[in-house]
């Protein structure tokens, strides 16, 4: 004689596994498990589903262990940020070296410009000396003309009022 396998409803299977009926129902629909028979409104399943469920959960749990926790994720992010900071520091050092090189070139150009300016200075200084001497002579002439004008005024004034 053939031994009959007992069939269980979703509620009974959920109780045996230790999960809620909703959890088992979601797992059944997700894994496309079909019932063995349907009696009225009840779907009946073989007991082998319990083993399939447990196997599936073991696989999922091992995959979850392989996945990163929040702390591990943050540690990886920190490491990536640290590497990026090191890279940026290297780039900054390169830019500092470039700036120093350009500063040296600029100083050299400034020295050359100053030398050229000084080469033109003797002519300018000579022209300025001549201008200064001529302007001093001009100022003396103007001052003497003012003095003579004031003396003429006094003399005219004194003549007008006959004061000496």
SS3 sequence of 62-116: HHHHHCCCHHHHHHHHHHHHHHHHHHHHHHHHHHHHHHHHHHHHHHHHHHHHHHH
* pLDDT score at 30: 85
Query: What is the residue-averaged pLDDT of the chain?
Result: 79
What value does the mean pLDDT take over residues 103-121?
Answer: 86
CB of 85 closer than 8 Å to CB of 43: no
Which of 4-8, 35-39, 78-82 has the least mean pLDDT? Answer: 4-8
Choice between 109 and 163, residue whose per-residue pLDDT is larger: 109
* pLDDT score at 72: 85
CA neighbor of 36 nearest in space, from 58, 14, 59, 4 = 4
Number of residues that this document lists for the chain: 164
Choice between 151 and 45, residue whose per-residue pLDDT is larger: 45
Confidence (pTM): 0.36
């Amino acid at each position: 004689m053939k031994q009959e396998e007992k069939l269980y409803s979703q509620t009974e299977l959920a109780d045996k596994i230790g999960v809620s009926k909703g959890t088992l129902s979601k797992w059944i629909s997700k894994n496309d498990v079909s019932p063995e028979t349907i009696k009225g409104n009840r779907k009946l399943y073989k007991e082998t589903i319990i083993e399939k469920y447990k196997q599936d959960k073991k696989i999922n749990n091992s995959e979850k262990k392989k996945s990163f926790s929040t702390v591990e994720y943050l540690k990886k992010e920190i490491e990536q940020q640290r590497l990026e900071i090191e890279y940026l520091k290297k780039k900054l050092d390169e830019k500092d070296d470039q700036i120093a090189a350009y500063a040296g070139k600029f100083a050299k150009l400034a020295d050359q410009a100053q030398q050229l300016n000084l080469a033109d200075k003797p002519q300018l200084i000579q022209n300025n000396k001549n201008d200064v001497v001529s302007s001093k002579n001009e100022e003396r002439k103007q001052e003497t003309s003012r003095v003579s004008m004031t003396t003429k005024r006094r003399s005219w004034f004194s003549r007008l009022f006959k004061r000496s």
